[in-house]
A and B are shown apart, each in its own frame.
Chain A
């Protein structure tokens, strides 16, 4: 049983460039979440999907950010015109739906983004 995977693990980019991250959740997990974590802080919620539907977006998710989960399996998070303030760890998590265990989220290793 594989866990949540994220790719790439590290990304260094120049200000103004676009970047895209991928998350593969645990198979058959209906819910998929994206969080952002800056140094010394706890993760902050960005958005979540139930199957392919994006059901909530945080105010942190500016117009430059877009997330998709086209077939209800993997998800991508794209940041356009990156800014230095986007430098952070981007964490993906998944959880099943329809049981008491839905409250537990399983996290991937994260993608660390550095914007120069």
Chain B
């Protein structure tokens, strides 16, 4: 089963604009991760934020985590056509489970020239 929902399901923006996507989850977590998937391919890890962190940056990516609301957001600044992909949040439980990932439903981002 999916851990949570992502919002929006699809997003279309112009190159240079910022893209924000949100993720909600259901249970307590150890950490939350964001992955990117280009059409029909494997997933690429983007960024990880731990449950005791509130914000993290990596290049053009900014992730926030609100454990009280069980939600996270991913901001991509100054988007490029190459950012066109599906973006998934994934959670890891606090204990056990071998760090298996529980994914959300994904946001399809399209960046147009």
Contact = CB atoms under 8 A, between A and B. Distances in A.
B38 to A, nearest CB: 10
Contacts of A55: 98
A91 B103 CA distance: 13
Contacts, number: 67
Contact of A107 (B44, B97, B102, B104): B44
B43 A48 contact: no
A59 to B, nearest CB: 9
B41 A110 contact: yes
Nearest to B42: A107
Interface residues of A, number: 28
Interface stretch (A12-20, A80-88, A97-105): A97-105
B52 interface: no
B66 to A, nearest CB: 20
B103 A33 contact: no
B interface residue count range (under 10 / 10 to 19 / 20 to 34 / 35 or more): 20 to 34
Main SS of the interface on chain A? strand
Contact of A42 (B33, B41, B99, B103): B103
Contact of A91 (B43, B48, B90, B98): B43
B58 interface: no
B68 interface: no
Given A108-B42, A110-B42, 18 more contacts: A31-B98, A33-B98, A33-B100, A41-B106, A42-B2, A42-B106, A43-B88, A44-B2, A45-B100, A45-B101, A48-B98, A50-B98, A91-B42, A91-B43, A103-B99, A107-B35, A110-B41, A112-B40
15 contacts: A31-B98, A33-B100, A41-B106, A42-B2, A42-B88, A42-B104, A43-B101, A44-B2, A48-B98, A56-B97, A91-B42, A103-B31, A104-B48, A106-B45, A107-B35
Interface of A: 4, 31, 33, 35, 40-45, 48, 50, 55-56, 89, 91, 93, 95, 102-110, 112
